[in-house]
């Protein structure tokens, strides 16, 4: 069998990282095997170690990719920012669609239980860096808040907590109630008026 060119190898690595990013958010780090990851990327599991030293090495890259995807989604949803951008973000984040599709959703929520499966410092560092970036995004939505970081910490905790509780209670009335309560709490101080969302 012919070896892949450097360009093909780079694309294969990218495909593996993208598949892992989705599967880790959907099933957790421990819920996905190397053969399953490779099959999702359209490859056989034999080639895994040609790209990564370990599953944890892949996880660190996949976590980074998941958080970058979240940052792009946040920028798209919030648009030009302000109260309307924040309201749009909260509405989309705490939606049934986001609850029902963790594989394409928030990395902070979807990867939250990783410490159960690994104590690898590179994985933890990738998660913490992603959460810090999300905190920055949430803080920017707060406008001129004098205590932007503390407000961002509280808002991110409410977002992720509401989403995770809604996922854990999916299929019951409690699930939608968690989404609605999170939205109400986060949007309680949003300006009201003809142009607000």
Q: How confident is the model at residue 195 (pLDDT cuts 50, 70, 90)?
A: very low
**Percentage, residues of the chain above pLDDT 90:** 77
Whether residue 14 lies inside any domain: the answer is: no
Confidence of residue 141 (pLDDT cuts 50, 70, 90): confident
CATH number, residue 176: 1.10.357.10
CA distance 152 to 161: 14
HSE of 126, CA atoms in CB hemisphere, 13 A: 24
For 2-46, give the secondary structure using H, E and C. Answer: CCCCHHHHHHHHHHHHHHHHHHHHHHCHHHCCHHHHHHHCCCCHH
Residue 157 inside a domain? The answer is yes
R_g of the chain, CA atoms, integer Å: 19
Evaluate whether residue 109 is within a structural domain.
yes
pLDDT bracket for residue 191 (50, 70, 90): low
pLDDT single digits (tens) 13-23? 999 999 999 99
Domain that holds residue 128: 55-187
Per-residue pLDDT, 3: 66
Whether residue 11 lies inside any domain: the answer is: no
Q: Is the pLDDT of residue 193 over 60?
A: no
| pLDDT band at residue 144 under the 50/70/90 scheme | low
Distance of alpha carbon 166 from its chain centroid, rounded?
Answer: 16
- Asked whether residue 132 is assigned to any structural domain, the reply reads yes
Domain assignment present for residue 75? The answer is yes
In a domain, 70, yes or no: yes
Task: Evaluate if residue 165 carries a pLDDT over 80.
Answer: yes
**CA 165 to CA 65: how far, in whole Å?**
24
Q: Residue 84 pLDDT more than 60?
A: yes
Is residue 68 in a domain? Answer: yes
Question: Structurally, how many domains does the chain consist of?
Answer: 1
| More confident call, 194 vs 47 | 47
Helices (H) and strands (E) in the chain, counts: 9, 0
Render pLDDT for 97-130 as a digit per residue (tens, 0 to 9): 999 999 999 999 999 998 888 899 999 999 999 9
Res 20: pLDDT: 96
């Amino acid at each position: 069998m012919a070896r892949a060119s450097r360009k093909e190898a780079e694309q294969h690595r990218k495909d593996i990282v993208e598949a892992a990013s989705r599967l880790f958010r959907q099933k957790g780090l421990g819920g996905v095997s190397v053969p399953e990851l490779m099959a999702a990327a359209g490859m056989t599991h034999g080639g895994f170690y040609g790209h990564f030293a370990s599953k944890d090495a892949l996880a660190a890259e996949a976590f980074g990719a998941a958080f970058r995807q979240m940052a792009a989604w946040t920028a798209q949803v919030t648009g030009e920012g302000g109260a309307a951008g924040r309201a749009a973000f909260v509405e989309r984040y705490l939606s049934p669609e986001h609850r029902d599709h963790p594989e394409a959703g928030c990395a902070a929520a979807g990867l939250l239980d990783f410490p159960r499966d690994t104590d690898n410092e590179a994985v933890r560092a990738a998660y913490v860096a992603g959460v810090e970036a999300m905190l920055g995004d949430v803080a920017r939505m707060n406008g001129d808040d004098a205590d932007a970081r503390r407000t961002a910490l509280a808002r991110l905790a409410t977002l992720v907590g509401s989403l995770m509780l809604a996922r854990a209670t999916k299929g019951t009335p409690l699930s939608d109630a968690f989404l609605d309560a999170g939205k109400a709490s986060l949007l309680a101080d949003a300006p009201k008026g003809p142009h607000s969302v």
